[in-house]
């Protein structure tokens, strides 16, 4: 993937950004209990005083990886110490922009191992989701603080590995934070708080939307190296997780965040509808989730250039009122005892990332462990994987069945640079 200018990233249209962000969780190696009290401090807290510099290594330096590395540098509390990317030229471009010494710019599939051993205190992982479990595990075992993008894995074994890595990090008194933006926005936070306080009465059902455009999906080549450029890998289930796992997860994570639980079953359907598709990711899906308490969540996802509205949002309907949390439009509680006019969620792409970067800094400096984003990220990944599998099979599937099946997705890494 080619390194993109940070200014361009911020100026892309919302849909363009959302398409990039879908993969966001991870730019290839290339460059690549939910109470109100558990909300990220960054959502409403004043900026923390910069007391020291944290030695940071960024794995994945193209697109969002390079862009978010710039935000870490802008924060002022991080020393941009090392970078790693599958492609050396991408690592060098990012390294030049950050002022990283040439001796600490690593490449190839094992570049992250050299970065971990380079003397960093913390790592930011911005790679395709398939590689997250291996890298997060290695970072936690090395005693590093971990900041990572979503989704944290593409399959059940990967989710369980992330869960174990987060627990290990806590045991080693290290912070483990997953970068979701919607739960950091002050207006969204207030809406979620009022919903949990009974502002809607009993919650009856929820609707979530994950609407974006398509990603470039050229013909396959002899190795997957060509899929690691330009976010092409988003179209490959084993590397990116599928559209519902990689992009729609923003909205589904918001639903889990508000409801404080993950679903117990899912049923649905999905298809490939983008023109001239070569990857196997489904770009259209409809999934109905059920929760243990009877709550129903209906999710609609699409990745097509058809000018559809919706974006990333979660609508919550109760006995007395309704509410909405959003990525880039209005969040509110309408009616009921906790009515809240809310307001427009603005600049969440950048503002949310900056709040998480500041929160991570406080976690590291203050020794705040067991970050709420880690458990929710695993629940969210499992939920979207459940939706993917149920929709692909056009059948109903329970979460217990999914976890028991424990199906691993494999990627052919032959021919790639070690």
Confidence band, pLDDT 50/70/90 cuts, at residue 48: low
Tell me the C-alpha distance between 50 and 243, whole Å. 38
Model-level pTM? 0.90
Nearest of 385, 381, 327, 358 to residue 136 by alpha carbon: 381
Contact 318, 200 (CB under 8 A): yes
Contact 177, 152 (CB under 8 A): no
Top-confidence residue, 37 or 179? 179
Mean pLDDT for the stretch of residues 49-70: 94
How is residue 358 written in tokens?
Answer: 């500041």
* Count of helix runs (H) and strand runs (E) in the chain: 14, 15
Nearest of 375, 379, 372 to residue 156 by alpha carbon: 379
Mean pLDDT for the stretch of residues 114-135: 97
Q: How many C-beta atoms surround the C-beta of residue 64 within 10 A? A: 29
Tell me the C-alpha distance between 260 and 254, whole Å. 10
* pLDDT digit string, tens, across residues 71-120: 999 999 999 999 999 999 999 999 999 999 999 999 999 999 999 999 99
Confidence band, pLDDT 50/70/90 cuts, at residue 49: confident
Classify residue 38 by its DSSP letter: G
Predicted local confidence at residue 2, as pLDDT: 34
Please, is 191 exposed, middle or buried when counting C-beta atoms within 10 Å of its C-beta (0-12, 13-18, 19+)?
A: buried
Report DSSP letters for 139-179, one per residue. Answer: HHHTT-EEEE-S---SSHHHHHHHHHHHHHHHHTT--EEE-
* pLDDT digit string, tens, across residues 357-382: 999 999 999 999 889 999 999 999 99
Report DSSP letters for 3-30, one per residue. Answer: ---HHHHHHS-HHHHHHHHHHHT---S-
Q: Where in the chain is the domain with CATH 3.30.360.10?
A: 183-348+371-405
User: Going by C-beta distance under 8 Å and a sequence separation of 6 or more, which residues neighbour residue 16?
Assistant: 213
151 preceded by a cis bond (ω within 30 of 0) = yes
Q: Which residues of 11-37 are buried (b: 16+ CB within 10 A; e: fewer)?
A: eeebbebbbbbbbbbbbbbbbbebeee
Calculate the CA dihedral of residues 348, 353, 354, 358 and round it to 10 degrees. 130
Longest Cα–Cα distance of the chain, Å, equals 61
Q: Which CATH architecture best describes the domain 6-178? A: 3-Layer(aba) Sandwich (3.40)
Tell me the C-alpha distance between 124 and 82, whole Å. 10
Nearest of 73, 81, 91 to residue 28 by alpha carbon: 91
Mean pLDDT for the stretch of residues 203-208: 97
Nearest of 147, 172, 289, 273 to residue 214 by alpha carbon: 273
Predicted local confidence at residue 307, as pLDDT: 86
Predicted local confidence at residue 47, as pLDDT: 57
Confidence band, pLDDT 50/70/90 cuts, at residue 295: very high
Is residue 262 helix, strand or coil?
coil
Nearest of 307, 260, 313, 239 to residue 25 by alpha carbon: 239
Q: Where in the chain is the domain with CATH 3.40.50.720?
A: 6-178
Tell me the C-alpha distance between 344 and 38, whole Å. 23
Residue indicated by tokens 């960093």: 120
Contact 270, 391 (CB under 8 A): yes
Please, is 87 exposed, middle or buried when counting C-beta atoms within 10 Å of its C-beta (0-12, 13-18, 19+)?
A: buried
- CA 306 to chain centroid, in Å, comes to 24
How is residue 136 written in tokens?
Answer: 């997060």
Sign of the alpha-carbon dihedral angle for 106, 110, 112, 116: negative
* pLDDT digit string, tens, across residues 159-188: 999 999 999 999 999 999 999 999 999 999
Is residue 105 helix, strand or coil?
strand
* pLDDT digit string, tens, across residues 345-357: 999 999 999 999 9
Report DSSP letters for 216-243, one per residue. Answer: --PPP-SSGGGGGSTTGGGG-HHHH--H
What is 183-348+371-405's CATH number, 3.30.360.10, 2.10.69.10, 1.20.1300.10, 3.40.190.10? 3.30.360.10
Of 49-53, 58-62, 64-68, the poorest mean pLDDT is in 49-53
Contact 217, 277 (CB under 8 A): yes
């Amino acid at each position: 993937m080619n390194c993109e200018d940070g200014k361009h990233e911020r100026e892309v249209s919302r849909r363009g950004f959302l398409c990039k962000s879908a993969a966001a969780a991870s730019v290839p190696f290339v460059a690549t209990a939910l109470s109100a009290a558990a909300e990220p401090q960054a959502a409403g807290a004043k900026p923390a005083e910069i007391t020291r510099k944290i030695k940071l290594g960024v794995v994945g330096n193209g697109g969002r990886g390079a862009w978010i590395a710039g935000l870490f540098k802008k924060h002022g509390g991080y020393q941009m110490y090392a970078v790693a990317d599958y492609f050396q030229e991408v690592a060098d471009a990012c390294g030049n922009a950050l002022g990283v010494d040439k001796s600490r710019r690593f490449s190839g599939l094992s570049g992250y191992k050299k970065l971990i051993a380079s003397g960093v205190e913390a790592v930011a992982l911005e790679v395709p989701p398939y590689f997250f479990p291996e890298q997060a595990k290695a970072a936690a075992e090395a005693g590093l603080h971990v900041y990572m993008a979503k989704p944290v894995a593409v399959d059940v074994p990967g989710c369980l590995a992330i869960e174990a890595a987060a627990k290990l990090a806590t045991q080693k008194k290290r912070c483990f934070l997953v970068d979701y933006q919607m739960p950091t926005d002050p207006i969204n936070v207030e809406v979620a708080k009022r919903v949990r306080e009974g502002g809607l009465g009993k919650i009856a059902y929820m609707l979530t939307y994950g609407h974006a455009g398509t990603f470039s999906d050229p013909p396959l080549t002899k190795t997957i190296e060509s899929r690691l450029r330009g976010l092409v890998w988003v179209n490959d289930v084993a590397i990116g997780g599928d559209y519902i796992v990689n992009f729609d997860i923003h909205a589904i994570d918001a639903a889990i965040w508000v409801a404080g639980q993950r679903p117990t079953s899912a049923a649905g359907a999905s298809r490939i509808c983008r023109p001239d598709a070569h990857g196997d990711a489904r770009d259209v899906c409809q999934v109905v989730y059920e929760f243990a308490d009877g709550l129903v969540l209906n999710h609609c996802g699409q990745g097509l250039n058809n000018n559809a509205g919706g974006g990333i949002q979660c609508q919550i309907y109760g006995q007395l009122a309704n509410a909405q949390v959003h990525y880039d439009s209005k969040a509110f509680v309408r009616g009921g005892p906790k009515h809240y006019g809310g307001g427009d969620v603005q600049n969440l792409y950048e503002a949310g990332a900056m709040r998480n970067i500041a929160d991570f800094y406080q976690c590291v400096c203050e020794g705040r462990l067991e970050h709420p984003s880690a458990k929710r990220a695993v629940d969210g990944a499992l939920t979207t994987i459940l939706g993917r599998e149920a929709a692909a099979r056009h059948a109903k599937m329970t979460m217990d069945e999914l976890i028991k099946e424990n199906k691993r997705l494999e990627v052919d890494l032959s021919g790639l640079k070690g």
